[in-house]
Amino acid sequence: MQLTSEQVQRIARLARLEISETEAAASSAQLNGIFDLIARMQAIDTTGIEPMAHAQDVSQRLRADVVSEADRRAAYQAVAPETEAGLYLVPKVIE
């Protein structure tokens, strides 16, 4: 797929962008380069290659899922201006 400068200008107009002729020509060249790269990548035979979730075969070290802090909810809510049913009450901001 090849884009012309006119097509780039139309896309820019649809996106509400103002670009000059020289910017449109430069953008079309860059976009055409990207489309060429995509075409070359799609031409590669990937039969038998399993998709990867990550570029490197690594696993993340996970910590044990245990509680490490004491429950201080009551202490935090004791100093709050207003609370109700365990929730903080704040002034209405949006009407």
Domains and CATH numbers, the chain: 5-42 (1.10.20)
- Global confidence as pTM: 0.51
- The predicted pLDDT at position 40 comes to 95
CA distance 76 to 89: 13
User: Is the CB of residue 77 less than 8 Å from the CB of residue 88?
Assistant: yes
pLDDT of 18 higher than 80: yes
CA-closest candidate to residue 21, choices 1, 2, 4: 4
Which of residues 55 and 12 earns the better pLDDT score? Answer: 12
Strand partners, 84: 87
- Read off the DSSP letter of residue 49: P
Written as one letter, the residue type at 15 is A
